[in-house]
Amino acid sequence: MSFKRSVATLLVLTGFADLSFASNSESYFDKQVSEFNEYRTFNWGECPAQFKTLDGRNECSFAQTPLNWEEPTGKVIEVLVSKYSATGGKSKGQLWMLSGGPGVSGSTYFPYVIEQDMPDIVRDYDVYILEHRGIGWSTELQCSYFDPKKCFDALHEVWGEGLFEFNTINAARDLKYAISKSKSLSWVPTYIYGISYGTMLAQRFTQIAPNGAQGIILDSVLPAHNSSTDLYEENADKVFTQLANYCNSDSYCSAKFITPVNESIRRSVQQHFAGVHCPDVSIDRDKLQQWSMAQISGLDKRSLLPFYSRLARCNDNDVIALNKAVLHYGLGKSIQILNRAKAVKDELKPNFSSSLFDLISMNEINYEKRSERERAEFCTNAIVCFDASYHAFSQSIQKTWANRYASEYIYKEIQHYIPTVALNGTLDHATPIHHAKDIQGSFTNINQRFIEVPFAPHGVVFNTGVKTAGEDICGVDIMESFMTNPWVSPDVSCLNDLSEFTFAVSAEYSQKVYGEDDAFGSFE
C-alpha cells in the first residue's frame, strides 16, 4: 500500500501492469439504471466503452443504492455492475470480482482477464464486476487538486459528512445488495473473488453477510484486522531480502555475488554512500531507493540483482556498465510523478480515485502508524524506499484524511464459516507473505485454506504461468477447482508445473542497459 502518485506505486495497488484508458469520443451508450429494490432484477444495457469486453458480450446496469445504508430512504448513489453471461449457455452459478486499491477501477484489468484468461470458468459461470462506490462509472470521488487539504475540502463541500459513507462497510453492503438483486428470479451459488484491497472487501462482506456466498477466493491477501499503509516501505524491503535469499539459493545467481547475497548488497550500498566503495559511479541514494521500489513493485523483479551485483563487485568493467545503467534508468534525474486523476468528459473515466484511496486507507488500513522521522530512520539502511518528499506528503494525507470515521467492523479479526481459499506469492511486495499469513489465525474450519505460491508476485491467480504448453494459468485452475467443490481441498497439482523462475535476463536487455551480453558481468 502506498500514497505516492507514481506509475510504479499505482501498480503496486493492483498487481497489474496495464492501466489503460479507453479512447475519448463523443459517442453515447444505452445507460440502464436499476431502481433500489432487491426483489426486482437488474435492467441490463450497454456498458461504457472502457468496461466492455473485446467481444462485446458483457452487459451493464447502474444500481441505485443508498449513500448511507443506515438511512435507506436518504440520498441515493449509483454503483455500476457488469455481467458476462456464461458462454456455455447454462450457468452453474456466479462469480463476483472485486478490484484492488482501494480506488482502482474494475475496468483496469477484469474485462480482459474474463475474456482471455479464464475460459472454463466463463463457460460455466456468469461473471460479474462490481465497481466500488467512489470510482469511475459508479458515483465517483474525484478532485483536480494535488494538495490533500484542498482536495478534501472540495469533496466535503459537495458531500458533507456523506463523504465518509464511501467506505468498505457500505461497499460490502452494496455487494450484498447486488448479489441479492442478481438472484431475484432464481437462486444460484455465489463465489466472490477479490484481489489485494478486494480481499479486504470480501472479508468485510462476510461480516455483514455471513451466509452470503458459497465460497471466497482471496488473491494477495490484505488481513482486515492489522494491515498498515505506513508499513509499505518496510514490507517491500523485506521482499527485496526474500529475492536476495532466493538468489543465494540459486547456483547461477549466487555465483554473481560474494555471498550471502543480502548482506553483500546492503554492505556495499552502505559503503558506497559512505564514500569508501565504488566512488567512480555517481548515484543519488534517494533515486536508487525509489528505482528499487519501482522494480520490486513490478511483476518481474529480476532487473534489481544485476545492478547490485555489479555495485558490490565494482571492477573496471562494472564501473563502465553501472554508469551506463545509471544513465539508462535515469537515477540522476527526477522521478516521474503521476498527478492525481482528473475528471474527464463522456465515456472516459479515471481508472483510479486517489481520494477514495486516501479516505479508506487512512481510516481502515493503517493499524500501525509511522512518523516522518521513523520512516527516514528506516530508509537510512533500506534498499527499497521512497524519499523525504514522499514522507512529508504522506503525513499531510494522514493529517487530512485520518480519523474521519469509525466502525465496529474496522481492525477486527474476521471469522466466518464460508469456504475460503487464500493465495499469496512469496515475492508479493504489496501484500507480503509474512503478513498475508496472518489471515490463517481467523480460519474456523478445514474448508478455509491458505496456499503459498513460490516466487509469485502480487496478483497470484493471473500471474502463475505453467511450463506445459496449452495448459491454463495455475491460479485460475486452482480457483476453478475450488468453485467446483468448495468443501474439499482444491487441486493444486499445477504448482508443480509452474514456469521456472530464473535470474538470467536477456542479452538484448543486458546490452541496452549495461552494454554487455551478461547483465551481471563477471569477477574476471
**pLDDT tens for the chain, residues 1 to 524:** 433 333 333 333 444 333 333 344 467 888 999 999 999 999 999 999 999 999 999 999 999 999 999 999 999 999 999 999 999 989 999 999 999 999 999 999 999 999 999 999 999 999 999 999 999 999 999 998 889 999 999 999 999 999 999 999 999 999 999 999 999 999 999 999 999 999 999 999 999 999 999 999 999 999 999 999 999 999 999 999 999 999 999 999 999 998 899 999 999 999 999 999 999 999 999 999 999 999 999 999 999 999 999 999 999 999 999 999 999 999 854 444 333 444 334 467 889 999 999 999 999 999 999 999 999 999 999 999 999 999 999 999 999 999 999 999 999 999 999 999 999 999 999 999 999 999 999 999 999 999 999 999 999 999 999 999 888 999 999 999 999 999 999 999 999 999 999 999 999 999 999 999 999 998 87
Question: CA 469, 470, 475: angle at the middle one, nearest 5?
Answer: 95
Looking at residue 26, its pLDDT comes to 62
Are 109 and 134 spatial neighbours (Cβ–Cβ below 8 Å)? Answer: no
The boundaries of the domain holding residue 205 are: 30-228+410-497
- The DSSP result for 186-237, as a single string, is ----EEEEEETHHHHHHHHHHHH-TTS-SEEEEES---TTT-BGGGHHHHHH
CATH number of the domain residue 100 falls in: 3.40.50.1820
CA–CA separation, 94 and 483 (whole Å): 10
Grid look-up 545503467 returns: 325
Question: Do 308 and 213 share a structural domain?
Answer: no
Question: Do 510 and 444 share a structural domain?
Answer: no
Looking at residue 16, its pLDDT comes to 36
**Residue 15 included in any domain:** no
**Residue 40 included in any domain:** yes
Question: Do 196 and 66 share a structural domain?
Answer: yes
Question: Do 295 and 168 share a structural domain?
Answer: no
Q: Which cell is 270 given?
A: 552502505
- Residue 260: DSSP 8-state: S
Looking at residue 145, its pLDDT comes to 87
**Residue 380 included in any domain:** no
Question: Do 109 and 157 share a structural domain?
Answer: yes
Q: Which cell is 242 given?
A: 526474500
Which is nearest to 306 in space by CA: 96, 460, 482, 510? 510
Question: Do 96 and 111 share a structural domain?
Answer: yes
Question: Do 220 and 137 share a structural domain?
Answer: yes
pTM of this structure: 0.92
Question: Do 440 and 308 share a structural domain?
Answer: no
Number of independent structural domains in the chain: 2
Cα 404 to chain centroid distance, Å, stands at 24
Question: Do 148 and 120 share a structural domain?
Answer: yes
CA–CA separation, 56 and 158 (whole Å): 35
- Residue 515: DSSP 8-state: S
**Residue 371 included in any domain:** no
**Residue 427 included in any domain:** yes
Question: Do 258 and 177 share a structural domain?
Answer: no
Are 443 and 454 spatial neighbours (Cβ–Cβ below 8 Å)? Answer: no
**Residue 404 included in any domain:** no
Question: Do 107 and 71 share a structural domain?
Answer: yes
Burial 237-248 (b: 16+ CB within 10 A, else e): bbbbbbbbebbb
Question: Do 107 and 256 share a structural domain?
Answer: no
**Residue 270 included in any domain:** yes
Looking at residue 332, its pLDDT comes to 59
**Residue 351 included in any domain:** no
